[in-house]
DNA sequence: AATATGTGCAATTCAAAAGTTGCATATATA
DNA sequence: TATATATGCAACTTTTGAATTGCACATATT
């Protein structure tokens, strides 16, 4: 069962993990300590994140450092693009309003 | 129970609804026809989307047209910003590679 | 070689969310 | 006024996901 990036991000703990890993790669045990959470619980979240390739493992002896994968997160950005025009229209209309206000001040 | 925007977007049906509504406002009944899904199921998705303010209702007689709310979707874009530097770093490195290739062509 | 540490996997329990059915309410239309 | 249409709400069932517990395996350390 291949995981979905949208569902992976839906969980607050997984979002926190991503935020951490975007700064530096960490092992499951260290993550568990940071979140005051059982290692196994974290491990399951890691599995979900790894299945949709938002993070990647890098073995170092008996430890496994998980790295954030920006490439995959960019897919999200691409999905969001379809809505970007919607809020840009809104802001353009705001620009018009501001412009009108400015003109009336100058008058 | 206030709904979370991340969880709202996790469901594929709700994402499809958002895509539709970003183009034009629709009533629940019309949406249900489009998705070949029970009206009540769609209605529940609408409730979730409305609770986190991703869509807004506009009454017209006995019908209710739901509109997409770009302002709320932009919150997503803001969250994504923390990761943007990660993939930009990656692309900058790509730029370096391209620049090196270009130079070697010129040589 | 014996023990400790880091990790993943499987089974189970518990909670939340998706979907269905039935009903209530409001607004049209005949 | 009687009927049809559009919608929301509540109860219930089924599915899905989060967390815990116990175990197995690999790599260190003594």
Per-residue pLDDT tens digits for B46-79:
999 999 999 999 999 999 999 999 999 999 999 9
Residues 6+ apart with CB under 8 A from B19: A82
Q: Do B6 and A18 touch (CB under 8 A)?
A: no
Q: Do A71 and B90 touch (CB under 8 A)?
A: yes
B68 membership: H or E segment, kind and range: strand B63-68
Token couple for B79: 């969250």
Supply φ then ψ for residue B70, to 5 degrees.
-60, -30
Q: Do A80 and B80 touch (CB under 8 A)?
A: yes
Q: Interface of chain A against chain B, CB under 8 Å?
A: 4, 6-7, 9-10, 12, 15, 18-19, 22, 68, 70-71, 73-74, 76-77, 80, 82-84, 86-87, 89-90
Q: What end-to-end distance do the CA atoms of chain A give, in Å? A: 65
Identify the pLDDT of residue B107.
36
pLDDT band at B35 (very low <50, low <70, confident <90, very high): confident
Min mean pLDDT across A87-91, B63-67, B79-83 is at: A87-91
Q: What pLDDT digit, counting tens, does each position of A6-65 carry?
A: 999 999 999 999 999 999 999 999 999 998 899 999 999 999 999 999 999 999 999 999
Q: Give yes or no for CB of A7 within 7 Å of strand D.
A: yes
């Amino acid at each position: 069962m291949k995981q979905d990036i949208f569902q992976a991000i839906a969980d607050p703990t997984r979002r926190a993990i991503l935020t951490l890993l975007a700064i530096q790669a960490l092992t499951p045990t260290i993550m568990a300590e940071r979140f005051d959470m059982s290692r196994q619980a974290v491990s399951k979240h890691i599995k979900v994140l790894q299945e949709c390739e938002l993070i990647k493992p890098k073995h170092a002896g008996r430890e496994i450092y998980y790295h954030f994968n920006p490439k995959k997160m960019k897919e999200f950005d691409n999905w969001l693009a379809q809505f970007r025009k919607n809020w840009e229209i809104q802001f353009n209309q705001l620009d018009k309003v501001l412009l009108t206000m400015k003109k009336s001040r100058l008058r």
